[in-house]
Amino acid sequence: MKVGVLGAGSMGIGIAQIAATFGHEVVLCDNNAAAMEQSIQRLTKILLRLVEKGRISQSDADGLVGRIQTTSMINEFNDCDIVIEAIIENLDIKKSVFQKMEDVVSSQCILATNTSSLSVASIAAACQKPERVIGIHFFNPAPLMKLVEIIPAIQTSESVLEQSRALIDSWKKVTVLAKDTPGFIVNRVARPFYGESLRILEEGIADVATIDWAMTELAGFRMGPFTLMDYIGNDVNYVVTETVFTAFYYDPRYKPAFTQKRLSEAGYYGRKSGRGYYNYAEGATNPAPTEDQALGQKIVDRVVVMLINEAADALFWNVASAQDIDLAMTKGVNYPKGLLEWAKEIGYQNCVDRLDALYNEYHEDRYRCSPMLRKLAKEN
């Protein structure tokens, strides 16, 4: 199977690397020659390190790079069996690109989008053969992250779904099936990790360093929410939050925070700009956390129960199966355990009680308890 990848950014080159690793001929297309050159150089350096560590041989590395054909012309996709688009998160641009690709590829070619939050159905609707379009959402860095969300649009044919999932499974990825709803599984369920942490910050309950300390040291997350937002980029994270908020008809559960909006407006994107919630300049010192166990546990209980509520609501609305929701959060964003499993450990009724207490305190719909959590509490 010949694989096309549109977009040579970090995600595109990562997908190309995976496909080439598993023996596929790859056509990597980007109209930005400088971006293409930088990506190929980065890939070469990564492979060199793998050779030095004895993970792969030099001949394997050379073969992998040799299987990737670079081009600036999408007509080079003419003999591809599948093309995976990994360009800017802009619906109009994606729709335009899919229309152009459809003029080039064969009638049997699958067209996939790596979108993280946009409607796959809208992208498919731009095509003459919408049944060939599907969402295949990798996580960054694609070669290292095991999870891939498979998102059929309502137009996607069963055979395209089966072929696509079989291909990604053959790349030794963990695939989960998600309904075409805003944020799919991970970017929907993960919103409170950022949103509730920002709310705690804005209320003055704790500072950035203390919240990060609580979520890593006490809850077991690999990165605290503010460290992670700085890593992702506050511009990127804010846009995803805003997109999900708008797509859910302004449901207050997904309301963005002014704090992150202002950082994004100021150009304080995080690591890539040298400053975000933390200062990354050489020699800079950042505030130490207040290592107060009682305060830390209060933070953890609040953020975790909001995450659990979101996972339960995704299950309630049949976004995915319980197994796939927990798999998505452990394999896609390295959560210490599946959220529905976590809810069982804490006790479903305890989760309901915590949410009801938050709702009674704030009287905001943001803290409404999912009907699924109430159902689980009654049944257990």
Options 117, 187, 234, 370, the catalytic residue: 187
Q: How confident is the model at residue 240 (pLDDT cuts 50, 70, 90)?
A: confident
Check if 242 is active-site.
Answer: no
pLDDT in tens, 298-311: 999 999 999 999 99
pLDDT, mean of residues 204-227: 98
> Phi/psi of residue 4, each to 5°?
-100, 145
Check if 279 is active-site.
Answer: no
Sequence length of the chain is 380
Asked if residue 343 has pLDDT above 90, the reply is: yes
pLDDT of residue 212: 98
pLDDT of residue 376: 98
Check if 137 is active-site.
Answer: yes
Asked if residue 236 has pLDDT above 90, the reply is: no
Q: Is the peptide bond before 141 cis (omega within 30 degrees of 0)?
A: yes
Asked if residue 256 has pLDDT above 90, the reply is: yes
pLDDT of residue 117: 82
Check if 149 is active-site.
Answer: yes
pTM of full prediction above 0.85? yes
CA atoms 53, 59, 65, 68: torsion sign: negative
Asked if residue 140 has pLDDT above 90, the reply is: no
Nearest to 200 by CA among 303, 103, 108: 303
Asked if residue 349 has pLDDT above 90, the reply is: yes
Options 137, 196, 234, 370, the catalytic residue: 137
pLDDT of residue 192: 97
Nearest to 117 by CA among 96, 89, 140, 141: 89
Q: Could you tell me whether strands 147-152 and 174-177 are parallel, antiparallel, or unpaired per DSSP bridges?
A: parallel
pLDDT of residue 303: 98
Count Cα atoms within 13 angstroms, Cβ side, for 358.
Answer: 24
**In this prediction, what percent of the chain has a pLDDT beyond 90?**
96
CA distance 301 to 167: 40
pLDDT in tens, 43-56: 999 999 999 999 99
**In this prediction, what percent of the chain has a pLDDT beyond 70?**
100
Options 39, 114, 116, 164, the catalytic residue: 116
Count Cα atoms within 13 angstroms, Cβ side, for 371.
Answer: 3
Asked if residue 278 has pLDDT above 90, the reply is: yes
Contacts with 147 (C-beta within 8 Å, 6 or more apart), sequence order: 139, 173, 174, 175, 176, 186, 327, 328, 331, 332
**Mean pLDDT (the chain, rounded):** 96
pLDDT of residue 243: 86
Options 102, 149, 196, 310, the catalytic residue: 149
pLDDT of residue 365: 97
CA distance 121 to 153: 5
pLDDT in tens, 67-124: 999 999 999 999 999 999 999 989 999 999 999 999 999 999 999 999 988 999 999 9
pLDDT of residue 331: 93
